Amino acid sequence: MMPRGIMKPRPVTQEMQDIVGVPEIPRTQALKRIWAYIKEHDLQDPQNKRDILCDEKLKKIFEGKERVGFLEIAKLIGPHFL
């Protein structure tokens, strides 16, 4: 059976590729990889783990914001799926 909806691999922008590492990815996997990137680069606010402190790469996919809330991520990456 072919994956559908959020499980279906979709092409992503170059900015998103810089973080997830591939040109096509399902939304669910993209979120996992973004989280892995955030943890790997220690970008969670130590005072409030639900806030992400954006580095240059993340700013490119999060509308240039300095920090984003945990719950905003899914919405902000939408435009990066082509």
Task: List, for residues 12-64, the tens digit of each pLDDT value.
Answer: 999 999 999 999 999 999 999 999 999 999 999 999 999 999 999 999 999 99
Sole residue written with tokens 């790469």: 57
Domain harbouring 39, CATH code: 1.10.245.10
Beta carbons within 8 Å of 81's beta carbon, 6+ residues apart: 10, 11, 12, 16, 27, 30
Residue 3 in domain = no
Q: What is the dihedral of CA 60, 33, 13, 62, to 10 degrees?
A: -30
Number of domains in the chain: 1
- Domain of residue 16: give its range: 8-80
Domain-embedded: residue 40: yes
> What pTM, to 2 d.p., does this model score?
0.89
Instruction: State the Cα–Cα distance between residues 40 and 63, nearest whole angstrom.
Output: 21
